[in-house]
Amino acid sequence: MGAWVAGKIRYWKERNGRYSARIVVPPRLRPFLPPPDTDKSELEVQLGGDRRTAIRKHAAAVATLQYKIGLAEQKANADGKAMASGRYPLSVEEIARREYEAQIEFDAEIRQHDHRYAMLGVDVDRAQRLRDGFSGSLSDDELEELVGDRIARLQTTGNTSAAKGSPKWRATAQALCLANYEAMARQDERDHGDFTGRPSHPMLAGETTEEESAAPITFDDIIDAEVKLRARGKNAKPLPDRTVKKYRDAAVEFATFRNSKNAAAVTAVEGKNWIEAMQDAGHLGNRTVKMKFQNVRTVLNWGRQNDPENFLPTGNPLTGIKTPDYTTTPSYLRAFTMDEAKVVLAAARKETKQMLRWIPWLCAYSGMRVSEAASLRKEDFFKVGDRWFWKVTTAGNRSLKNASSERRIPVHKALVAEGLVELVERADAGRLFRGESKEEINVQPRISSWVRELVPFEKRPELSPNHGWRHLFEDLCRRDGMQDDARNYLTGRTSGHSHEHYGRSEVMLPGLADAMDRIKPIPIA
């Protein structure tokens, strides 16, 4: 079975004739689970070998697991990250059913362990207040006194994010009153030997089936399944974390716009309206709008590939929707001019922060992406004969744009003259460009902001402060007669020809060094 299948019970596991409730714990929250669950990747409650009994116990077990995860999330809030309210959303009707089933299960369990329980009788006064609660005659404060602890637990569990005073909060409180009142009625009947009673209120009167227990398939469900799928098997090619985040962010924005995480209920009109809303807001360019929309469409395609019979069986509703057109800035306008490159490189010489001192120089003489330069490690540098090189690699859980981005780059003589080799030789093992409080930092916005202090946006709005080095390096290669094959390899580009998959051993490195030596240094006063 895949990570999810439409129409099945969520958080349900069956193995060797035994059943259990199981929930994957978000990685960020695992360290905050209390012992003995600390750092567990998933939580599980055994439900036994009888399927009907397991289904009856399932809702309460899931609620218990979600509560543990909710408590962990509250602890995690100390790190400054916002709590994901409504992580496991339930409708008011689902909350009422789950509460009723949990109370009935609790009643049965007590009767099995204590013969005195049946002689206690029900609390008539509480029953009357519960009836007043679901009939609507109690104030919000009175409802909170009666079932406020249950609502607080649901909020911690992530089943509701309704705030007191809102219609949804009041509806939830009334539903809890109803569920507890009906459960007390069953308790009274059972005290007198009648175990045939059923709830009479329409919200609870229907039979609970597996299909009613099934939760909607969310965008996160689909993305989680795709992440697992890509990581399976020998020589797998997992989705990079940065790529996963890109799809999650787009899906969250779309779900927020349509006010639903249910991916199976997406309509073409919602997709069209989302595009227009992003355009009308005026904050994003058409290229970004198109990218976000395409990311959501891709997620839905993954869902169909996982379960084509049940998930969007008539097709992806976002297919065929026209995406925005956009104009692109000519490449030469995005590149650094020689004068701008001189200014930035001269300023970098005076910097004491290593990333500002060296990343512009590395990019200027290699065409590297800033993100690639930022992740360089001491171990990436090596010598062949008397010549130094460095590797651009995915080793060490690093990600690159594509397979052709794996490459080895000769250290340009201008970098040697600047002292790069000495920096590498005296550096500690690991990343060359670390943060002050943590090793891995997001360098791109910092470099971009720093460059913009030297080349203000008002003077050169078209300049790409980070990617402009790649454009400039390509032009330097053309100016100084570097062969296309060498230029494409050094910059991590591909033409799609099959010959690019052959060779590329150490035999070619001296030739690459000769090609790099054709690049004349940028003159800096």
pLDDT at residue 254, as a whole number: 94
Question: What's the rounded mean pLDDT across residues 306-315?
Answer: 79
* Reported confidence tier of residue 474, pLDDT bands at 50, 70, 90: very high
Residue 207 has pLDDT above 80, yes or no: no
pLDDT for residue 229 is more than 70: yes
Kindly tell me the sign of the dihedral angle through the C-alpha atoms of 278, 159, 214, 227: positive
Give the tens place of pLDDT for each residue, 135-161. 888 999 999 999 888 888 888 777 788
Supply the DSSP string of 117-184, one letter for each residue.
Answer: GGGT---HHHHHHHHHHHHT-S-HHHHHHHHHHHHHHHHHHTS--PPTTSHHHHHHHHHHHHHHHHHH
Worst-scoring range by mean pLDDT, 9-23, 157-171, 281-295, 447-461?
9-23
Position 109 pLDDT exceeds 90 = no
Which one has a higher pLDDT value, 68 or 502?
68
Q: Is the pLDDT of residue 302 over 50?
A: yes
**Alpha carbon distances (Å) from 193 to 158, 184, 196, 226, 485:** 37, 14, 9, 52, 87
Q: Is the pLDDT of residue 501 over 50?
A: no
Does pLDDT of 293 surpass 90?
yes
Averaged pLDDT, 202-222: 67
CA dihedral sign, ordered 340, 341, 342, 345: positive
Contacts of 500 (CB under 8 A, 6+ apart): 404, 494
Q: Is 35 a residue whose pLDDT tops 90?
A: no
Per-residue pLDDT at 83: 46
Domain limits, the chain? 12-213, 219-226+234-306, 331-517
Average the pLDDT over 12-39 and give the result: 83
Please state, in angstroms and rounded to a whole number, the distance separating the CA atoms of residues 1 and 237: 21
Q: What is the mean pLDDT of residues 277-296?
A: 92
Q: What is the pLDDT of residue 88?
A: 72
Report which of residues 388 and 35 the model is more confident about. Answer: 388
Judge whether residue 494 has pLDDT over 70.
Answer: no
pLDDT, position 75: 79
- Mean pLDDT for 161-176 is 89
Lowest-confidence segment of 171-175, 304-308, 458-462 by average pLDDT: 304-308
Confidence of residue 513 (pLDDT cuts 50, 70, 90): very high
What is the CATH superfamily name and number for domain 331-517?
Intergrase catalytic core (1.10.443.10)
Q: Tell me, what's the pLDDT at 481?
A: 94
